[in-house]
Structure 1
Amino acid sequence: MALHGDLFSYPLPELLQWLDGSRKTGTLQLSWEAGERKIFVLSGQVVATASRGLRERVARLLELAKLSSGSRVLASFEELQRTPDVEQAFATHGVDVRMVREMGREELFSSMMDLTIAGRGTFHWTEDADRTGEDWVPSDMSIREMLFESLRWVDEHGDVEQALPIDAMSVRAVAPPSASQPLLHRVILTLCANSQNLGRLRLSMGMSRSAVTRRVFDLLRLKLVEVEGAPQVEADPVAEMLEKGQVLVREGQYDSAGIICASLLASDPADRRVREFARMVQREHVAALYGELPPVAVPVPVHDPEGMALLKPEERQIAGLVNGGWDVSTLVLAVPARELDTLRTLAKLVRMGLVQLTMPMR
């Protein structure tokens, strides 16, 4: 199935929500004044992105930051034409594929923000996910994460523009880069060891103004750079907690991320960034649990009165509905609790040995 239209009639956030909710596989092509970008999606997961000159830009940035040889990075991309194994292609040439994937993520965050703010351009969706002949770079994140982070950038864009309004402002690093920092932070700190203005920095990096100023703003907030003429930028505690929460989600620590959600929602339930983050955490957690509990798997109860006595009343209620005939998807519909709570309880029952999963015969 193919779908095309314009981003004024069908805003980008709504389009991404549709792709996420339908767990689509295929290619989303976005076109606007700044050029064209393709996003390759596998069951709701962004696996790669492509745009003209992207591979050369990634190679140049990693070399400018003294993180890798540009020729090695380009050789790794060439290797992708001979092997489908992304990790092996980069390992063969001594390149850390995690840095390349992080650059892919950064490219997507900034372009999604630019397109959302502009509200212009066209899109074309096709279920053909073939990357042959494309200038693609691997990525690894869900559509939900891409949507959440780009919307967070949109919400904070006004603060960034107010602090860094013109390209003539000079940026100087006041701390050296370290391996614990995000990749673009390390790139900017390396390039600004000697002061240079925002315009030159942007041209050196070959990235959009919004992408560069966003990361400079982050560094300014962290007191890792000085910007001539910029106002004093104080740390935003909500933004900091959201960034930490996103790292937890990326590491699969959903319960910890959920605690951050609950705390932020209690303090300011009207903050759109917080609401979007809460939705993203919940949906990522549900998707991860379905990885453990396939919807067609049939939970079979195991007789263990002592184990059952350790459960909470609401968990025993769900355990009581496990009859060896209903599959996971049917149980989720039958239980009055939230989908996430039901799946978490079923996963707990499996871990405690109170339930065994069986797959239906084909």
Structure 2
Amino acid sequence: MALHGDLFSYPLPEFLQWLDSSRKTGTLQLSWEAGERKLFLLSGQVGATASEGLRGRVARLLALAKLASGAKVLAAFDELSRTPDVDAAFDVHGLQARWIRDLGREELFAAMTDLTIAGRGTFHWTEDADRSGEDWVPSDMSIRELLFESLRWVDEQPDVDKALPIDALSVRALTPPSPSQPLMHRIILGLCTKPHNLGRLRLSMGVSRSSVTRRVYELLRAKLVEVDGAPQVEADPVAEMLEKGAVLMREGQFDAAGIVCASLLASDPADRRVREFARLVQREHVAALYSEMPPLLIPMVVHDPQGMSLLKPEERQIAGLVSGTWDVSTIVLASPARELETLKTLAKLQRMGLLQLTAPR
């Protein structure tokens, strides 16, 4: 099935939500004045992105950060034509695949932000996910994460534009780059050891203005750079907590990310960024639990009265639904608890040795 249309009639965030909810596999091509981007999807995950000259830009950025020579990065990309294992292709050349993924994600966040703000352009969707012949780099994130992060950038863009209104503003690093910092922050700090105006910085990096200004704004907020003529930027505690929550989620610490969500929702339930992030964390947690406990597997209770006595009443109620004939998805539907809570209880029973998963006969 192929679909095509314009992003004025069918806004990009809504189209991404449709792709996510239907767990689509295929290629989404987006075209507008800035060029063309392709997103390669596998069951709701954005495995890679492509655009003209993208690999060259990634090689340039890693060379600017003094993390690798451009030739070595391009050689690693050539290796991808011989092996489907992204990590192995870069390991062979002494490179960390996470650097490449970080820059692929950066490309997508900026492109989705620009397209959402512009509200124009065209899309073409096809269920053919073939990447061969494309200038692609891995990105490895869910559509939900892409949607949340790009909408957060859109919401905060007026603050960024207010602080950094023109390209003539001069940026100077107040601290040297550190391996503990995000990759884009390291690159900018390394380039701005001497004053560098925003326009030249953007051109030397070869990335979009929204990406550069966003990252400079974050550094300005953290007091890691100074920008001549920029107003004083105070730290946004909500934005900082959301960034920390996003890191926790990417590391698979969903319960900790959920605590961040709960505290933010309690303080300001009307903030769209917070509501979107809460939904993202819940969906990602559910998806992670289903990967541990596939929906069609059948749970079997292991007889252990002492272990069962350690459970809370609501957990024992869910355990009572395990009949040895119902699969995971049926138990979730029958449970009086929410989907997430039911899956968390089943995962807990499995960790305690009170549950075994068997294939259907």
SS in structure 2 at match of 1:321? coil
| 2:212 counterpart letter in structure 1 | V
**2:56 aligned with 1:56:** yes
**2:251 aligned with 1:251:** yes
User: What's the CA shift for 1:70?
Assistant: 0.5
Q: Cα deviation per residue 1:57-110 (whole Å; 9 max; x = unaligned)?
A: 010111011111111001111111122121111112122111111000100111
Question: Which segment is superposed worse, 59-68 or 258-267?
Answer: 59-68
TM-score by length of 1: 0.98
| 1:119 counterpart letter in structure 2 | G
- Name the CA distance, whole Å, in 1 between partners of 2:322 and 2:87: 41
| 2:77 counterpart letter in structure 1 | F
Structure 2: where are the runs of 5+ without partners? none
**2:344 aligned with 1:314:** no
SS in structure 1 at match of 2:320? helix
Cross-structure match for 1:265: 265
- Name the CA distance, whole Å, in 2 between partners of 1:65 and 1:325: 56
How many pairs are equivalent?
361
| 2:172 counterpart letter in structure 1 | R
Superposition pairs of residues 140-289 of structure 1, within 5 angstroms: 140-289=140-289
User: What's the CA shift for 1:41?
Assistant: 1.0
| 1:93 counterpart letter in structure 2 | H
Question: Which segment is superposed worse, 81-90 or 317-326?
Answer: 81-90
User: What's the CA shift for 1:171?
Assistant: 0.5
| 2:30 counterpart letter in structure 1 | L
SS in structure 2 at match of 1:226? strand
| 2:270 counterpart letter in structure 1 | A
SS in structure 1 at match of 2:109? helix
TM-score by length of 2: 0.99
Cross-structure match for 2:325: 325
| 2:309 counterpart letter in structure 1 | A
SS in structure 1 at match of 2:24? coil
- Name the CA distance, whole Å, in 2 between partners of 1:226 and 1:260: 30
User: What's the CA shift for 1:46?
Assistant: 1.1
- Name the CA distance, whole Å, in 1 between partners of 2:98 and 2:318: 40
SS in structure 2 at match of 1:168? coil
Q: Cα deviation per residue 1:296-324 (whole Å; 9 max; x = unaligned)?
A: 00011222221111111111111111100
Cross-structure match for 1:74: 74
User: What's the CA shift for 1:231?
Assistant: 0.4
Cross-structure match for 1:354: 354
- Name the CA distance, whole Å, in 2 between partners of 1:233 and 1:315: 47
| 1:232 counterpart letter in structure 2 | Q
- Name the CA distance, whole Å, in 1 between partners of 2:96 and 2:298: 41
Cross-structure match for 2:112: 112
**2:86 aligned with 1:86:** yes
- Percent identity between matched residues is 79
SS in structure 2 at match of 1:137? strand
- Name the CA distance, whole Å, in 2 between partners of 1:324 and 1:251: 33
Superposition pairs of residues 41-52 of structure 1, within 5 angstroms: 41-52=41-52
